[in-house]
């Protein structure tokens, strides 16, 4: 089945896609439910764009929520995991283009947990794609990265 949204490396899949879900389960932000269930859907509320690379070795999830408790504005990169050979910053730039074609947003943002990243420079691949640190969350001390599109 052909995707309506495609790029050079990415194509859109539905929330719950088995290959995307397997990558998501290896992402550090995945929460294990107390009852042990593994729900099929993994993205959460709001509008979503779930992108999978053609080799199924990278996952990118965009979320747009109308009502956010953290007062962040824009489209959120909820998950990015790259287990493939394509440079992460190139995948991020392409994912931005696909998100822009859907939402025409002014700002994209993501959260990075520096304690869960092995890099000495957490968020480095996003920074290489032009994202900048714009703050830190109060509760979990997650780094907030953003990119202003306009």
Contact assessment for residue 89 and residue 125, using Cβ atoms and an 8 Å cutoff? yes
Look at residue 119 in the predicted model and tell me its pLDDT.
80
Beta bridge partners of 13: 50
Look at residue 2 in the predicted model and tell me its pLDDT.
46
Q: How confident is the model at residue 108 (pLDDT cuts 50, 70, 90)?
A: very high
Contact assessment for residue 99 and residue 62, using Cβ atoms and an 8 Å cutoff? yes
Q: Which two tokens stand for residue 15?
A: 């929330």
Contact assessment for residue 23 and residue 83, using Cβ atoms and an 8 Å cutoff? yes
* pLDDT at 21 exceeding the cut of 70: yes
E-assigned strand segments in the chain: 10-13, 47-53, 58-64, 75-82, 107-112, 132-136, 143-148
Q: Which two tokens stand for residue 12?
A: 């859109």
β-pair type (75-82, 107-112): parallel
Look at residue 131 in the predicted model and tell me its pLDDT.
97
Look at residue 140 in the predicted model and tell me its pLDDT.
85
* pLDDT at 22 exceeding the cut of 90: no
Beta bridge partners of 47: 64
């Amino acid at each position: 089945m052909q995707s309506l949204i495609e790029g050079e490396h990415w194509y859109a899949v539905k929330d719950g896609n088995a290959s995307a879900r397997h990558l998501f389960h290896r992402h550090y932000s995945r929460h294990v439910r107390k009852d042990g269930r593994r729900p099929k859907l993994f993205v959460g509320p709001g509008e979503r764009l779930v992108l999978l690379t053609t080799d199924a070795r990278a996952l990118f999830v965009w979320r747009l929520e109308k009502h956010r408790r953290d007062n962040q504005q824009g489209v959120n990169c909820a998950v990015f995991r790259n287990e493939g050979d394509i440079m992460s910053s190139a995948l991020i730039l392409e994912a931005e283009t696909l998100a822009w074609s859907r939402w025409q947003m002014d700002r994209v943002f993501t959260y990075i947990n520096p304690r869960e990243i092995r890099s000495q420079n957490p968020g480095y691949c996003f920074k290489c794609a032009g994202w900048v640190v714009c703050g830190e969350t109060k509760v979990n001390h997650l780094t907030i990265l953003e990119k202003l599109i306009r």
